C-alpha cells in the first residue's frame, strides 16, 4: 500500500524540493553573515585617471580587475568636493552640514592637527556600529577629521574615539610641506601676505632707527623699542605655526602615540602597505573592517623609486600606478588568507581631481574625464563624480555596470546592514542601502534627490526621475573660471564657494545629465518643455531638505581652525617635538 502512496506524492514532492532548492540558491547571499569589509579610498583621484573609467594611458590593472570581478558605478557622487567634509559624510552617512563639518568661510578643511574642530564625538560612524557588532576595525592612512578638543591628550576627534580599534597613519593629510624639497603648499597666498607684512614692518622699524641715529627723525627710543617689539611679536605670532608646518602637521601616529614627527616620506608607502596587510593577517579569524585611506594621489605625490618615470603622465601618473599596485597587494593578501568570497571590497575617491594643482609645466593634479570642473567645485560633476567599485564574489554579479545615482554616503547603511547592525534612528541618515541595487534586485537607485554643497552653500541639486530614468541637475551657483573659459580657477588655485568669485543663477542652469553628462548645453524654457516643471520640482525638494537641517556647532569656524599650541600633538616636550620610532625599530 505504501508504493501507490509514494507514487501519488511524488508529483507534489518534486516541485516542492525544486522550489526549496531555488529559494536556497537565490537567498544564498543573505546566509553569509557578517562579511569582512575592505574599504579603499583614494585621495584627490579623478574619475578620468582610472582605466576602467576610460583612461588608456595610466595603467590601473588591479582597480580594473575589481571592476571586472564586481560592480562598477558610473554616477557615484561625493557629498562634498574637498577632503574633510567628504570624508565626514562617508563615515557618518550624512551631509557634512549636519555634523558641522562644512564651512561658511574659506577654511573648508581642517588646517592643523592643533585645531580644535573635527568630527564631533556625538556622531556615530559605521566603524562604531561595526565595533558593537563584534568586528575588529582598523583605519590605515589618512584621517583629516581632527584630533583634540581642549588638551593635547583628550583625543576627542581621534579615530579611536570614532569606532576604530586600531589606527596607523596621518591624523592630518599629506601636503607638499611634508616634503622638504617641495614648494610649501599650505595657505600659500596667506603666507606670502604675512611675509610681505613682516618685511614692511621690519623695513619701517629699520628706517625709523636709522633716521633716529642720523638725526633725520625725532623719535623717542622708547617708541622705537615698542615698534621693534611689535615687529618681533608679529613675526613670532605667525612663524611659530607656519614656519614649522612639517613638524606640526606631517606626523604619523599608531593609535594615540606618535611614531614619526616629522614623517619620513621615503618609507611612508611601504609602512602603510605593511600595516594594512598585517591587519588582515591578524584578524582573519573574525569579522573585520579595514578602511585603507590612501595618501595617494595627493600632492606632493610621494612615490617610491621603482615607480618613478614609469607612466606617460609624469609624477602624477607614477603615483596613481603605485597606488594601483598597492590595491593589488591588498587583494593578494585577501586571496592568500582565503578570504576572497567572504570579503566585500570597495574602491572610490573622496572627490574629483585637482585641476589647478601644477608647478610650472608639471600637472600635479588629476583628470576628471568628460566631466566639467574638479576639486573644490561643489556643483560641477568633475568635483564630485568619482570612481565607485564593489566586489564580493558569489554575491555581486561580476562585470556589472550601474548608471544610477549613488553616493559615498551610501556606504554607511550598506555596511551597517550587512554587519547585522541598525542605523541610528535619532538622526537623519542621507545614505541608502546599496545592496539591492548592487545585486540586481532593484533596478533604480533609492535616491530621488541629491544636494551638492560647496562649503555650507548649496550650489546645485539633482533629481532622479525614476519613471523615465532621466537625471536632471539645477545649478544655483557656479564658480567663475579664471582665466575665462579655462574650466578651472587657475588664477586662484581653487574655486571659491561665495563672494565675487561665483555667479548666482536665476533661473537656475538646468542640465539633463542622462543626455548631457558633460554639462555642456544648459536647457531653457525655449528648448525644454519640462523646464519650469523640473525647476519647480527641484526647488520644492531643496526647501524640504533645508527643513531637515538643524543648527550645530561649526567645526570649521575660524576659531576652531586656527593653530593652538596647547592642542599640538607632540612626541617630546613641547615645543621640542621630534621622534623617529620607526627608524629606531
Percent of the chain with pLDDT over 70: 94
DSSP state of 576: B
Helix, strand or coil, per DSSP, at residue 77? strand
Query: What confidence tier does 14 reach under pLDDT thresholds 50, 70, 90?
Result: very low
Q: Which residues of 254-275 are buried (b: 16+ CB within 10 A; e: fewer)?
A: beeebbbbbbebebbbebbbeb
Total Cβ atoms within 10 A of residue 167: 22
Domain boundaries, the chain: 37-174+250-446+552-574, 188-242
pLDDT at 188 over 80: no
CA angle 34, 40, 44 (to 5 degrees): 150
Q: Specify whether 144 is catalytic.
A: yes
The active-site residue out of 7, 52, 83, 452 is: 83
The chain-wide mean pLDDT, for the chain, equals 92
Task: State residue 6's pLDDT score.
Answer: 35
Q: CA 381: distance to chain centroid?
A: 15
The active-site residue out of 144, 157, 459, 464 is: 144
Instruction: Tell me the DSSP string of 423-485.
Output: --SSS-------HHHHHTS-SS-S-SEEEEEETTEEEEEEEEETTTTEEEEEEEEEE--BSTT
Position of cell 586662484? 492
- Tens of pLDDT, residue by residue over 533-560, are 999 999 999 999 999 999 999 999 999 9
Mean pLDDT over residues 219-243, rounded? Answer: 87
Beta carbons of 253 and 142 less than 8 angstroms apart: no
Beta carbons of 139 and 167 less than 8 angstroms apart: yes
In the chain, the N- to C-terminal Cα span, in Å, equals: 82
Q: φ, ψ for residue 275 (rounded to 5)?
A: -65, -40
Query: What confidence tier does 217 reach under pLDDT thresholds 50, 70, 90?
Result: confident
pTM for the full predicted model? 0.92
Total Cβ atoms within 10 A of residue 349: 27
d(CA 25, CA 164): 35
Q: Which is nearest to 77 in space by CA: 423, 387, 460?
A: 387
- Tens of pLDDT, residue by residue over 452-465, are 999 999 999 999 99
Q: What is the CATH number of domain 37-174+250-446+552-574?
A: 3.40.720.10
- Burial of 422 (C-beta count, 10 Å sphere; 0-12/13-18/19+): exposed
Amino acid at each position: 500500500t505504501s508504493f501507490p502512496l509514494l507514487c501519488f506524492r511524488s508529483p507534489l514532492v518534486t516541485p516542492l524540493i525544486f522550489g526549496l532548492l531555488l529559494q536556497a540558491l537565490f537567498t544564498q547571499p543573505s546566509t553569509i553573515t557578517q562579511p569582512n569589509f575592505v574599504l579603499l579610498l583614494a585621495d584627490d583621484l579623478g574619475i578620468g585617471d582610472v582605466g576602467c573609467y576610460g583612461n588608456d594611458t595610466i595603467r590601473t590593472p588591479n582597480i580594473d580587475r575589481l571592476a571586472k570581478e564586481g560592480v562598477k558605478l558610473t554616477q557615484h557622487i561625493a557629498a562634498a568636493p574637498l577632503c574633510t567634509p567628504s570624508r565626514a559624510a562617508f563615515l557618518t552617512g550624512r551631509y557634512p552640514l549636519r555634523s558641522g563639518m562644512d564651512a561658511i568661510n574659506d577654511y573648508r578643511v581642517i588646517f592643523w592637527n592643533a585645531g580644535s574642530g573635527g568630527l564631533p564625538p556625538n556622531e556615530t560612524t559605521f566603524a562604531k556600529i561595526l565595533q558593537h557588532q563584534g568586528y575588529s576595525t582598523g583605519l590605515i592612512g589618512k584621517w583629516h577629521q581632527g584630533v583634540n578638543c581642549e588638551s593635547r591628550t583628550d583625543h576627542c576627534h581621534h579615530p579611536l574615539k570614532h569606532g576604530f580599534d586600531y589606527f596607523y597613519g596621518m591624523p592630518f593629510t599629506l601636503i607638499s610641506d611634508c616634503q622638504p624639497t617641495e614648494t610649501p603648499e599650505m595657505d600659500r597666498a596667506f603666507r606670502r601676505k604675512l611675509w610681505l607684512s613682516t618685511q614692511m614692518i621690519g623695513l619701517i622699524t629699520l628706517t625709523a632707527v636709522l633716521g633716529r641715529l642720523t638725526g633725520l627723525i625725532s623719535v623717542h627710543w622708547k617708541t622705537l623699542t615698542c615698534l621693534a617689539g611689535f615687529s618681533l611679536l608679529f613675526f613670532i605670532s605667525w612663524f611659530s605655526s607656519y614656519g614649522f608646518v612639517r613638524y606640526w602637521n606631517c606626523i604619523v601616529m599608531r593609535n594615540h602615540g606618535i611614531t614619526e614627527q616629522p614623517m619620513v616620506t621615503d618609507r611612508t608607502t611601504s609602512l602603510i602597505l605593511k600595516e594594512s596587510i598585517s591587519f588582515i593577517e591578524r584578524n582573519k579569524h573574525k569579522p573585520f573592517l579595514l578602511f585603507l585611506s590612501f595618501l595617494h594621489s595627493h600632492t606632493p605625490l610621494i612615490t617610491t623609486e621603482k615607480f618613478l618615470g614609469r607612466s606617460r603622465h609624469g609624477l602624477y601618473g607614477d603615483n596613481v600606478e603605485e597606488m594601483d599596485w598597492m590595491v593589488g597587494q591588498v587583494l593578494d593578501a585577501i586571496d592568500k588568507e582565503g578570504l576572497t568570497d567572504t570579503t566585500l571590497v570597495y574602491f572610490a575617491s573622496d572627490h574629483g581631481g585637482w585641476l589647478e594643482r601644477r608647478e610650472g609645466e608639471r600637472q600635479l593634479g588629476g583628470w576628471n574625464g568628460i566631466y566639467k570642473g574638479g576639486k573644490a567645485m561643489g556643483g560641477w560633476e568633475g568635483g564630485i563624480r568619482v570612481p565607485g567599485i564593489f566586489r564580493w564574489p558569489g554575491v555581486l554579479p561580476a562585470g556589472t555596470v550601474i548608471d544610477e545615482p549613488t553616493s559615498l554616503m551610501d556606504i554607511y547603511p550598506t555596511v551597517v546592514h550587512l554587519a547585522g547592525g541598525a542605523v541610528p534612528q535619532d538622526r537623519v541618515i542621507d545614505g541608502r542601502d546599496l545592496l539591492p541595487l548592487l545585486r540586481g534586485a532593484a533596478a533604480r537607485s533609492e535616491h530621488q534627490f541629491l544636494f551638492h554643497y560647496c562649503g555650507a552653500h548649496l550650489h546645485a541639486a539633482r533629481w532622479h526621475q525614476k519613471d523615465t530614468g532621466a537625471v536632471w541637475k539645477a545649478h544655483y551657483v557656479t564658480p567663475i573660471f579664471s582665466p575665462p573659459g579655462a574650466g578651472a580657477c587657475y588664477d586662484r588655485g581653487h574655486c571659491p564657494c561665495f563672494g565675487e568669485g561665483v555667479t548666482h543663477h536665476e533661473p537656475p542652469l538646468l542640465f539633463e545629465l542622462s543626455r548631457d553628462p558633460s554639462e555642456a548645453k544648459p536647457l531653457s524654457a525655449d528648448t525644454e518643455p519640462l523646464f519650469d516643471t523640473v525647476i519647480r520640482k527641484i526647488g520644492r525638494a531643496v526647501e524640504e531638505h533645508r527643513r531637515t537641517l538643524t543648527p550645530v556647532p561649526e567645526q570649521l569656524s575660524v576659531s576652531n581652525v586656527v593653530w593652538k599650541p596647547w592642542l599640538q600633538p607632540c612626541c617630546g616636550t613641547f615645543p621640542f617635538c621630534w621622534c623617529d620610532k620607526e627608524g629606531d625599530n
